[in-house]
Structure 1
Amino acid sequence: MTIVDSTEELGRRDRKKLETRAALERAALTLVAERGLAGVTVEDIAEAVDVSSRTFFNYFPSKEDALLGRSPRAEAELIERLARVPAEMSALAALRLVLLDEAERVQERREEWLLRLKVFEQNPSLLLKLFSGGAEAERRLVAAVAGRLPEGPSGTAHAELVTAVALTAFRVAVLRWSTVDIPLAGLVDEVFSQVAEGLPDPNPPA
């Protein structure tokens, strides 16, 4: 099942903004991969895209934020796609479907994502920024999942648990994908199947 985006076609101005944001992200990743985090300034990133530093700060509060590949629009679209999943589908199955859809989008930008993972590996200080920002995004996703469940403490607790499990499964698949030439969607489907089966231990080698 594929979730069809109901988002209207972006206007020319909005498309231009998305293109500029993406160009700044790519420039930041490329420069930091070459020079290291300390060797790159906001001015360097802006110059690589032929925009001003002021323009850079219209999109990102810091050079570290430009490296994360996280945009409010993308997070909102993820929650919108979740809202379009039929209500009778379980929370875990709904998240699996949405994250399979997300995997297709990440796959289309494989080179960029592999570079991003390399930059994170080379600059461990970025992980704190990644996790702190991710926690806020996860809270918003938990709220969306909870909206599919009965109200009350048990529904909230289940939403927190199932969201954490789903996002961890997705991260595991992405890390595996970075080391093998296999479509990300297949790896995401595989890890979710393991979760759905109760995470049985693998069979011993023959």
Structure 2
Amino acid sequence: MESTAGLRERKKAETRQAIHKATLRLAVERGLDHVTVDDIVEAANISRRTFSNYFGSKEDALLYGEEQRIRSLVRAIRERPAGESGWRALRGAVRDELEGVGEPEREWAVRTSLTRRHPALLARQLANHAALERELVQAISDRDGAGKPAADLKCRIMAAAFLAALRIATHVWIEEQEARPLSQIMEQALDEVARPFC
């Protein structure tokens, strides 16, 4: 029974990924405004109903990869050793994530560039980042024993600074046309904001 459930979940994950990849490919080829759900359904070789079972819109399908990375990062932060400070846990988690999955594929740069040019995607991405920031604040707070207003403020600033450093590093990586590894640029950006949190 357990292996059947595991297989079913794996198949669902594969279907989500196939829809995401088809959406991304079509958006790059045609521009997101010129891609319909019917186009995605045809490219992914699925039914419209299957698409609707997994995603509410083409924007959802396009941003799926980013949302998975966000969930993975939050999970990695929560799994860091208990004795680490919030800042060390954030840095360790992002380092582990990049080592675990390797440098981002071209897909990440393409998706980020698409998002920057498309208002609906940008709005959705901002909402994702706001949710991530809340989760990071909670994870840091759980670690650093916050509860006092000053500690809460520090956790919020730390989470915002961390995300800003990652966002800026990603934009520099894309602007440099991936000339340097993203991990190197992220480490440099995080070093720049680390001093108050170490």
Same fold (TM over 0.5): yes
1:176 pairs with 2:172: yes
- Whether the aligned pair in 2 keeps the contact of 1:75 and 1:137 (CA below 8 Å) is yes
Quote how far apart the aligned CAs of 1:170 are.
Answer: 0.9
- Whether the aligned pair in 2 keeps the contact of 1:31 and 1:40 (CA below 8 Å) is yes
Aligned to 1:4: none
Aligned to 1:82: 77
- Whether the aligned pair in 1 keeps the contact of 2:137 and 2:159 (CA below 8 Å) is yes
1:20-61 deviations in Å (ceiling 9; x for gaps): 111111111111122222211111112111111221122221
In the alignment, structure 1 segments of 5+ residues that lack a partner are: 1-9, 199-206
Aligned to 1:115: 110
Q: Which has the higher helix share?
A: 2
TM (norm. structure 2) is 0.84
Alignment RMSD: 2.2
Quote how far apart the aligned CAs of 1:83 are.
Answer: 2.1
1:77-96 deviations in Å (ceiling 9; x for gaps): 33332122223322112111
Aligned to 1:166: 162
Change over 3 Å in CA distance of 1:104–1:24 after alignment to 2: farther
Change over 3 Å in CA distance of 1:74–1:174 after alignment to 2: closer
Change over 3 Å in CA distance of 1:74–1:59 after alignment to 2: farther
Please show how residues 1-206 of structure 1 align to structure 2 within 5 Å: 11-68=6-63, 69-71=65-67, 74-104=69-99, 107-150=102-145, 151-178=147-174, 179=176, 180-197=178-195
Change over 3 Å in CA distance of 1:185–1:83 after alignment to 2: same
Distance in structure 2 (CA, Å) of the matches to 1:105 and 1:163 = 22
Distance in structure 2 (CA, Å) of the matches to 1:108 and 1:52 = 33
- Whether the aligned pair in 1 keeps the contact of 2:76 and 2:97 (CA below 8 Å) is no
Distance in structure 2 (CA, Å) of the matches to 1:105 and 1:171 = 20
1:18 partner letter: A
Distance in structure 1 (CA, Å) of the matches to 2:93 and 2:187 = 11
TM (norm. structure 1) is 0.81
